[in-house]
Amino acid sequence: MEESRIALSIGTALDRFIKNNQDQFQYASGELSQILRDIALASKVVNREVNKAGLIDIMGSMGSHNTAGDQQQKLDVLANIRFTRALMKGGEVCALISEESESYVDLNNEGKYVIAIDPLDGSSNIDVNVSIGTIFSVYRRKSPAGQPIHEMDILQKGSEQVAAGYILYGSSTMLVYTTGHGVNGFTYEPSLGEYFLSHPDMKIPVDGKIYSINEGLANSFSQPIKQYVQSCKDKNHTARYIGSLVADFHRNLLKGGIYLYPATAKDPQGKLRLMYECNALAFVAEQAGGKASDGIKRILDITPKDLHQRTPFFVGSVRMVEAAQNFS
């Protein structure tokens, strides 16, 4: 037993992987690599707080509301502070778009990158110890560095992302990301404080048997959505809905499936935010061989008009998203 452990390779550390793959990136100058490292570092701090949330006064609401009028959870605010600080440090990032901030944060520097982030997604699950996540997108600014931030730097289409991904704080903590050259997943090893490559070149199955939708809202689904959900039942597909986008997305990425958050009576534009929830997962899904749309249009082709705009979201296995779209 002990002999085999001696020989056991622990795998490729995230830092090493980023370094080894830096040349894949068109603008390879180390800045994007540093941004990925900063996101990984902040996620370790957030992971530590999330893991011991029940022991420290970090549960529950902050008593304030974010831009969408949602109750801000203490961990939402903590995560927003941690990621903002980590991304401000190096000077690579010139502007930050966050679910927790009304407008973008201009970091007044020579940075060439713009970040959109949902620091803690699935906040309704924080207090009940269900998996939650962080979602991030990285863009290059369009206007010359050092000049005032311009709207064209901020309201970029998802197809302009140079990197995107998420962190899943689940039974284990994982960082999954793409820079447009496939998708790789890293598992956090807390005793070493390091992420290691555990899921190289992730691919989502072309078809699946899992559908994820909040059927509690079914009364306000459109007829086509009701028909699509019924078709899943007719095929004895399995319903799985954690209510944490990152956790539902990650399961479907591994097993095949579809996550749908359509337009509803309460949210006629859909609930999820294009800039810091859907664009990143759409990029990851497509890079893993999947598909993402608003039911009609490719998510990555949607030109944002507002930082916090919402969109219906259909994402997952190609055949299932196409089937859902065919009902629309």
Which residues here bind ligand FBP, judged by CB under 6 A?
70, 99, 118, 121-124, 214, 243-245, 271
Check: CB of residue 284 under 8 Å from CB of residue 176. yes
Check: CB of residue 275 under 8 Å from CB of residue 135. no
Residue 134's alpha-carbon distances to 111, 151, 165, 247, 280, in angstroms, are: 22, 25, 8, 10, 11
Question: 121, 153, 248, 286: which one is catalytic?
Answer: 121
Residue 109's alpha-carbon distances to 115, 147, 160, 259, in angstroms, are: 14, 9, 21, 38
Q: Which residue is associated with the tokens 């749908």?
A: 260
How many CB atoms are located within 10 Å of the residue 162 CB? 20
Q: What is the dihedral of CA 39, 43, 45, 48, to 10 degrees?
A: -170
**Tokens describing residue 31:** 């800045």
Question: 92, 100, 153, 248: which one is catalytic?
Answer: 100
Question: 14, 31, 32, 76: which one is catalytic?
Answer: 76
What lies within 8 Å, CB to CB, of 163 at 6+ separation is 32, 35, 36, 137, 138, 177, 178, 179, 180
Is 57 annotated in the active site?
no
Question: 15, 49, 70, 322: which one is catalytic?
Answer: 70
DSSP label at 218? G
CA distance 216 to 202: 32
Q: How far is the CB of 135 from ligand FBP (least distance, A)?
A: 8
Is 277 annotated in the active site?
yes
Q: How far is the CB of 264 from ligand FBP (least distance, A)?
A: 8
Question: 32, 87, 120, 175: which one is catalytic?
Answer: 120
**Tokens describing residue 40:** 């990984």
Q: Which residue is associated with the tokens 């060439």?
A: 112
Among residues 148, 180, 133, the alpha carbon closest in space to that of 25 is found at 180
Q: How far is the CB of 127 from ligand FBP (least distance, A)?
A: 12
Question: 31, 99, 194, 248: which one is catalytic?
Answer: 99
Q: Which is nearer to ligand FBP, 39 or 315 (CB)?
A: 315
Q: Which is nearer to ligand FBP, 18 or 79 (CB)?
A: 79
Q: Which is nearer to ligand FBP, 205 or 270 (CB)?
A: 270
Q: Which is nearer to ligand FBP, 177 or 261 (CB)?
A: 261
Q: Which is nearer to ligand FBP, 18 or 320 (CB)?
A: 320
Q: How far is the CB of 7 from ligand FBP (least distance, A)?
A: 41
Is 153 annotated in the active site?
no
Q: How far is the CB of 137 from ligand FBP (least distance, A)?
A: 14
Q: Phi/psi of residue 210, each to 5°?
A: -115, 130
Q: Which is nearer to ligand FBP, 266 or 305 (CB)?
A: 266
Check: CB of residue 57 under 8 Å from CB of residue 124. no
Q: How far is the CB of 278 from ligand FBP (least distance, A)?
A: 11
Catalytically annotated residues: 70, 76, 99-100, 118, 120-121, 277
